[in-house]
Structure 1
Amino acid sequence: MISVFVPSQLSAYTGGVTRVTATGETVGAVLDDLDRAYPGLKFRVIDEQDRVRKHMRLFVGQDETRDVTRPIRPGEELLIFGALSGG
């Protein structure tokens, strides 16, 4: 299983939970698994061309990635962060 940190701005999709688990051999497969459990979540992170949206940041452990084909192993952690804006 992959442990996934979901930012507070997306926690409405997960019923308020900010730590969930998913399966998959790549970042994209993990996001697909999350979307099956929490419909609509993936579209907030990935656009129609399967690219990470500009305002989103993904980390596998401490390494940032924008590549949804990046491998991820069981026991690793996927962190999803959304940029904040304001005045």
Structure 2
Amino acid sequence: MNVLVPSALRSYTGAAQVQAQGDTLLALFDDLERRYPGIRFRVVDEQQQLRANMRVFVNGLGVRDLAQPLQPQDAVAIVQALSGG
């Protein structure tokens, strides 16, 4: 499936879009980690939760549950939330 990568993580992938596979979001991040070592830790914390500053959209819908099922034709976008004041 197609995965959009935010600019902050492109140093891992070298591209704005990459292909990955997985039947859940967690499996997708495991696949991304195999292909691009270090990327998973930037998105998923030690408790297997999305980091507070990260958002994931599947087919345009925001998802926080890493058990979210995925289909091969799904589009996944990883977005780094902005913060500050």
After the TM superposition, list the runs of 4 or more consecutive aligned residues in structure 1 that deviate by more than 3 angstroms: none
**What is the RMSD of the two structures over their aligned residues, measured on CA atoms?**
1.0
Aligned equivalents of 1:19, 1:25: Cα separation in 2: 19
Q: Structure 2-normalised TM-score?
A: 0.95
SS at match of 2:12: coil
CA distance in 1 between partners of 2:81 and 2:74 (Å): 23
Structure showing the higher helix proportion among its residues:
2
Distance (Å, rounded) in 2 between the aligned partners of 1:34 and 1:60:
16
Kindly report which structure 2 residues correspond to 1:42-53, keeping only aligned pairs within 5 A, or say none. Answer: 42-53=40-51
Matching residue of 1:12? 11
Alignment size in residue pairs: 85
Sequence identity percentage = 48
| Structure 2 gap segments, 5+ residues each | none
